[in-house]
Amino acid sequence: MAISRMRFKANNNGTYYIDLAKALSLQERKLHRQKAIYTVYGGFFVDAQGQRIELNTAPMTWVSKRAVNRGFAMWRKMTAKTLEDSGSSSKSKYRDFKVLLDNQMGAGTLLPLDASDNDLGSASSEWDYSDLISDDPDLGAQPGDPSGFQLAIVGPHVGTPPDWTRIGLIESWFNSRPAPETTQPNDIPDVTDPLMNLFDGSDALDNRLAVINLEGDGPPYNETDTFGNAAASGNSNNLQRQSVAVPAAATPVAPIHGFHALCGLIQIVVGEGSTAANQWELVLDVETKGEAF
């Protein structure tokens, strides 16, 4: 086990994002691949104004992992096919599959700082989120033009069909899967059939068959409301709350709970929607070796 203590800071309330793989790569001076589950053992939050901080991640469910794995497989296939078709051989040490958390996240994430508030990165530090280029001519802005889009784990597709600029991996995964049957298994066809009632000396058999038909014949969820894919949530995106801290002005340091972050992506909300000027600091203890999935 190797732990890296990382310090983040901002001068205003609002919504921010941390990419732990990017932050670790900067601080440890070694590429940390994003497609992993990163463990945050805990930390502390400092705010003299006593504002609330919320730390949110993609839902830690098998659906989220399957969706990311499917996106990774498509990116890897596109890369390999392109190099093969062009007769090229390009093995980059730093080529990596990178996704965004949700539709609000951009490339500008919080970077780790030293004790004097200096960024540990620089303008020459490269961290590009993966672009996929479709062969489908219908996806281009003009007939025959390729269409490039990035990937977000949670939330709906972005763009005007067919010109997508960002694809929601969980939504795309559901679109690729057959919908669950209304009833599984099918109901007993006809509980009034004479042969089925040949030895029915009372109404008990009919009542029992009716119960069997009604109970436990459908899935205990609706895919349109699945964590990370709830259409009603729109761009708020169904993220999973991992920790909350509310320091006080008299005691401006509050602990952060430990949690796992899929692909190391964390949304931070400070001040519950307020954008007021407010200098705050967040320190996290992060396991440097991510868990494969």
What is the Cα–Cα distance from 79 to 89, expressed in whole angstroms? 11
What pLDDT score does 140 carry? 53
What tens digit of pLDDT does each residue of 15-35 get?
999 999 999 999 999 999 999
Could you give the CA distance from residue 171 to residue 250 in angstroms, rounded to a whole number? 45
- The number of C-alpha atoms within 13 Å of 144 and in the hemisphere containing its C-beta is 0
Answer yes or no: is pLDDT of 141 > 60: no
Question: DSSP letter at 291?
Answer: B
Mean pLDDT of the residues in the chain:
85
Question: What is the residue whose two structure tokens read 């009632």?
Answer: 197
Q: What percentage of the chain carries pLDDT values higher than 90?
A: 54
Confidence check: pLDDT of 143 > 60: no
- pLDDT (tens digit per residue) in 43-81: 999 999 999 999 999 999 999 999 999 999 999 999 888
